[in-house]
Structure 1
């Protein structure tokens, strides 16, 4: 099979394109293409097999349009993303109650990050770093008092511990592993202030859905595993 193994009906038709079934041997791909104003994460091989994936990242102050992954499909690479220079800067760094920020000199350009830390007796919840993306800061963390941290509810997917696992509550930062039916690998999740991260669940791998009308085509055969994160950037039109 060449292409996606599933398609979906939308108001504009089927997406992604229907796959094809080829008889015989599939071709490998040559060295992946260079990305203008960006680079590949692993570019040490001269030949890539069918279905192999290459990941790209844009240079600082450049915004990626399209999927950060391309894939070798019968001798051809899927569409390369584009790195666009982002001139917008971010305003003041958000305040953090009971926390501190490592000194950072403005202006804050696209891709710049700042680091937060919490004061004694407080625990940081959320990302320690925030990043300037297209003129706006990503979501800052919180500093929660140690005695106010919430517990996580257990799950039926956890191995038994002498009593029903879903009736047990787990402290913040508890790491649990579990195994989905029919899968050999174990999954891991951490209790973060009352929520499991990633969410405790057994489901099949997912695919990024196509962009809506008037957006850049992001059709790709690359598959994304359960729990893998993907960011979309929406450009404001004034």
Structure 2
């Protein structure tokens, strides 16, 4: 018995299929991910049932953060620098010679705001 073929799944903008295939058949699953800076609403796995795909997840834009706060006698470590920052991005700080970090050495972007910034004392 020939397997029922499925059309290629429709993906909303800002979403993509992980490891896409050239052809899909009934009961096949695809894994979906959102582009960086977007958050998934819905399931990351959709299935083809009777030749039709389940509704793909929605990818909602995360609120970006402005540049992370600067701290006196310290700076952001190069490895954490990015052009844009979104929720869950973390920057790490280092202190100038002779200064020590008090509290956490990092700050996290959360819904457009940075969590507490470290101090160098």
TM-score, structure 2 as length reference: 0.55
Q: How many residues end up aligned between the 2 structures? A: 94
1:34 corresponds to 2:11: yes
**C-alpha distance 31-103 of structure 1, shift in aligned 2 (>3 A):** closer
Residue 43 of structure 2 aligns to a residue whose secondary structure is coil
Residue 5 of structure 2 aligns to a residue whose secondary structure is coil
**Aligned structure 1 segments of 4 or more residues deviating by more than 2 angstroms:** 24-28, 88-93, 101-108, 110-115, 131-137
* Maintained 8 Å contact 1:91/1:136: no
Which structure 2 residue ranges, 5 or more long, are not aligned?
Answer: 70-76, 93-107, 115-121
Task: Return the alpha-carbon distance in structure 2 between the equivalents of residues 85 and 35 of structure 1.
Answer: 13
Aligned to 2:20: 43
1:141-180: CA deviation from partner (whole Å, max 9, x where unpaired)? xxxxxxxxxxxxxxxxxxxxxxxxxxxxxxxxxxxxxxxx
C-alpha RMSD of the superposition: 3.8
Which structure 1 residue ranges, 5 or more long, are not aligned?
Answer: 1-23, 94-100, 116-130, 138-238
* Maintained 8 Å contact 2:34/2:40: yes
